[in-house]
């Protein structure tokens, strides 16, 4: 295997650190040549030393410069929020491949990413477990024979709480995810199911599927990650232990199943796999986000900005958990008015995102 030179954006995060474990296991295939971490400068310096990396960015440095450096072949985008959009597009335009963990990139800029890279494949490699699952199920299949795809959802940290108590949920409770250990933004988005709605939007852009052919099923064990139903009724599913190192490695190695640090699945120990339909009444944000996505680019840009604002304010104790859906609705309205173009250019996306975040009360950034 030729050595792939890798830039990791967000190397100190949950995905970033697990990616470093994958790199360590494959010295013949992967070498880190650039990395970033916004905070924890000492940890960034230690990682750079351990992996012999000279190109390092901390704070709010220019991630596009890292992502387009000449000694980079593949960029792992593992920073949360809209901040991932500019470096992703820059990398693709510079001819790099991108392994995409960040969700907002496709949520607000899916049309731009698709224009630059097409759908999932060598140049645009999904890292999220559900989209990795679809990628694996669709390998060797014909797109025109796919009837529908299904993404599974654990239900998040609050799935067993009575709906009436959601108003009093504390950040600590909302951050306690039952099956995955992840960064703050994605864990809180899992509590509201904004995360799963984002994943539906990602699947739309990655696989060119209309929204009415992408379903979501609750599956508390997080073992079946995704399913594909074909026109003849045959269904393929992708299973694995809930361990992000497996899909991270599959993306970084480019659709290879080599031995690595990921856990293997013990179905006898798991005992059972449960599925149930999603109760949309319990997760109002899910519908708000998908209605926005169906209604147009402006509304979904507004929802994304509002969600970043909502999470900042919820963590600061300024916004009750059950007020998040209303803030997202306001974001969708503001976005639809600010951006009327069906396929807005990057500058218009960033401008609307900034304005709506400021309007809805977010301090800058998450993480």
3-state helix, strand, coil in the chain (%, to 5): 50, 15, 35
Residue 87 interface partner, choices ligand NAD, Mg ion, none, CB cut-off 5-8 Å depending on type: none
Closest CA to 116 of 88, 135, 139: 88
- Contact between 360 and ligand NAD per CB under 6 A: no
Q: Indicate whether 109 belongs to the interface with ligand NAD (CB under 6 A).
A: no
DSSP state for residue 344 in the 8-state scheme: -
Reference 84, options 70, 63, 68; nearest CA is 63
Least spacing, CB of residue 44 vs ligand NAD, in Å: 8
30 Cβ neighbours under 8 A, 6+ residues apart: 3, 4, 6, 22, 23, 252, 253
Say how many residues touch ligand NAD, by CB under 6 A: 27
Task: Pick one of Mg ion, ligand NAD, none as the site partner of residue 13 (Cβ within 5 to 8 A by kind).
Answer: ligand NAD
Query: Minimal CB distance to ligand NAD: which residue?
Result: 13
Find the binding residues for ligand NAD in span 295-354 (CB under 6 A): none
349 closest CA partner among 310, 308, 300 = 300
Touching ligand NAD, residues 197-256 (CB under 6 A) = 244
In angstroms, what is the minimal distance from the CB of 151 to Mg ion? 8
Task: List the one residue from 93, 123, 184, 322 that touches ligand NAD (CB under 6 A).
Answer: 184
Q: Say if CB 202 and CB 107 are below 8 A apart.
A: yes
Nearer to ligand NAD by C-beta: 80 or 119? 80
Q: Give 43 or 333: the residue with its C-beta nearer to ligand NAD.
A: 43
* Nearest distance from C-beta of residue 225 to Mg ion, angstroms: 8
33, 68, 79, 152: which one contacts ligand NAD (CB under 6 A)? 79
Kindly calculate the radius of gyration of the chain based on its CA atoms and give it in whole angstroms.
19
Helices (H) and strands (E) in the chain, counts: 15, 11
Position among 4, 6, 7, 13 found at the interface with ligand NAD (CB under 6 A): 13
Q: Select from ligand NAD, Mg ion, none the partner in contact with residue 83, using the beta carbon and a kind-dependent cut-off of 5 to 8 Å.
A: ligand NAD
User: Within a 10 A sphere around the Cβ of 323, how many other Cβ atoms?
Assistant: 15
132, with CB counted inside 10 A (0-12, 13-18, 19+), is buried
* Residue 180 interacts with ligand NAD (CB under 6 A): yes or no: yes
Count Cα atoms within 13 angstroms, Cβ side, for 111. Answer: 14
Stretch that binds ligand NAD, among 14-22, 24-32, 106-114, 254-262 (CB under 6 A): 14-22
| Comparison of 199 and 312: residue with beta carbon closer to Mg ion | 199
Which residues lie near ligand NAD (CB under 6 A)? 10-16, 37-39, 78-81, 83, 101-103, 128, 180, 182-184, 186, 244, 365, 367
């Amino acid at each position: 295997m030729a050595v792939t030179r890798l830039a990791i954006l967000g190397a100190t995060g949950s995905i970033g650190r697990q990616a470093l474990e994958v790199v360590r296991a494959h010295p013949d295939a992967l070498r880190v040549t650039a990395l970033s971490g916004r905070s924890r400068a000492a940890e960034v310096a230690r990682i750079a030393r351990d992996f012999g990396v000279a190109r390092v960015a901390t704070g709010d440095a220019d991630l596009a410069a890292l992502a387009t450096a000449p000694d980079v072949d593949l960029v792992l985008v593992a920073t949360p929020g809209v901040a991932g959009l500019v470096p992703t597009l820059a990398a693709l335009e510079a001819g790099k491949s991108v392994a995409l963990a960040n969700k907002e990139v496709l949520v607000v800029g899916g049309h731009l990413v698709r224009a630059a890279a097409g759908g999932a494949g060598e140049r645009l490699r999904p890292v999220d477990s559900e989209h990795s699952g679809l990628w694996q199920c669709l390998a060797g299949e014909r797109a025109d024979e796919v009837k529908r795809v299904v993404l599974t959802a654990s239900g998040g940290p609050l799935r067993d709480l009575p709906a009436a108590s959601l108003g009093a949920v504390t950040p600590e409770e909302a951050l306690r995810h039952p099956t995955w250990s992840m960064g703050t933004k994605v864990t809180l988005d899992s509590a509201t199911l904004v995360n799963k709605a984002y994943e539906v939007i990602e699947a739309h852009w990655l696989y060119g599927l209309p929204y009415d052919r992408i379903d979501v099923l609750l599956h508390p064990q997080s073992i079946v990650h995704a399913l594909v139903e074909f026109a003849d009724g045959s269904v393929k599913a992708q299973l694995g232990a809930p361990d992000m190192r497996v899909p991270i490695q599959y993306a970084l190695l480019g659709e290879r199943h080599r031995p690595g640090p990921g856990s293997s699945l013990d179905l006898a120990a798991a005992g059972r796999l449960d599925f149930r339909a999603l109760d949309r009444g319990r997760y109002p944000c899910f519908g708000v986000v998908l209605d926005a996505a169906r209604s147009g680019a402006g509304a979904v840009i507004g929802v994304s900005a509002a969600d970043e604002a909502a999470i900042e304010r919820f963590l600061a104790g300024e916004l009750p958990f059950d007020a998040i859906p209303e803030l997202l609705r306001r974001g969708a309205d503001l976005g639809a008015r600010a951006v009327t173009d069906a396929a807005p250019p990057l500058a218009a996306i960033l401008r609307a995102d900034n304005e709506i975040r400021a309007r809805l009360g977010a301090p800058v950034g998450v993480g």
